[in-house]
Amino acid sequence: MRYLYTLIFFASLAAPASAAQVAFTVRSTEIKQQPFSDAKTIATLGEKVSVDVLSRRGGWVNISSGKGNGWVRMLSLRSDSTAKTRGDSGLQSLINVGRSGSSGITVATGVRGLSEEDLKNAHPNPVEFEKLQKYAVNKAKAEKFAHNAKLKARQLDYLPSGNP
């Protein structure tokens, strides 16, 4: 009987683990029906709108908001660092930290760099280089893309020689 009570106790602690995390939009963003850029748009959220994060797939986050449930780009959201995951008791918080970081969700984006050894051991691949050439665009096409995306040009100075 004692075993049964222990099992029920630990099961009750695990139940809130699937509770949603609160996040906020950092810019106006579209809620998509599926996690794809060309998926149907369900609604549009304004800047600083609170949403519940349900799950993540690649660069997309499944959210629930007052305007509906769907997918938004991960970089359109900011985690609410002051809010705890709903239902977290002190013990549940420890379980979440051990499992996936202090916020209950681990997110990483970026590009892995090349080590010095990777560069020394690199071998050119002419076939792959030819494939890359197909993605090249001229200055006019690049400027048109930037204009349509409402990107702004910035002048950046080069680093002085000798700096890493």
The burial of 102, by beta-carbon neighbours within 10 Å (0-12 exposed, 13-18 middle, 19 or more buried), is given as exposed
Structural domains of the chain, ranges and CATH numbers in brackets: 2-100 (2.30.30.40), 116-148 (no CATH)
The burial of 56, by beta-carbon neighbours within 10 Å (0-12 exposed, 13-18 middle, 19 or more buried), is given as middle
Contacts of 33 by beta carbon, 8 Å cutoff, 6+ apart: 39, 40, 41, 42, 70, 71
- Choose among 92, 68, 78: nearest CA to 25: 78
**pTM value?**
0.42
Residue 9 has pLDDT above 70, yes or no: no
Residue 2 confidence (pLDDT): 52
pLDDT, one tens digit per residue, over 94-144 is: 444 434 444 445 555 555 677 788 888 888 889 998 999 988 999 999 899
Residue 18 confidence (pLDDT): 47
pLDDT, one tens digit per residue, over 19-50 is: 568 999 998 999 999 998 889 999 999 999 99
Residue 58 confidence (pLDDT): 83
Residue 103 confidence (pLDDT): 47
What φ, ψ does residue 101 adopt, rounded to 5°? 95, 170
pLDDT, one tens digit per residue, over 42-85 is: 999 999 999 999 988 888 899 998 888 999 998 889 886 544 44
Residue 163 confidence (pLDDT): 53
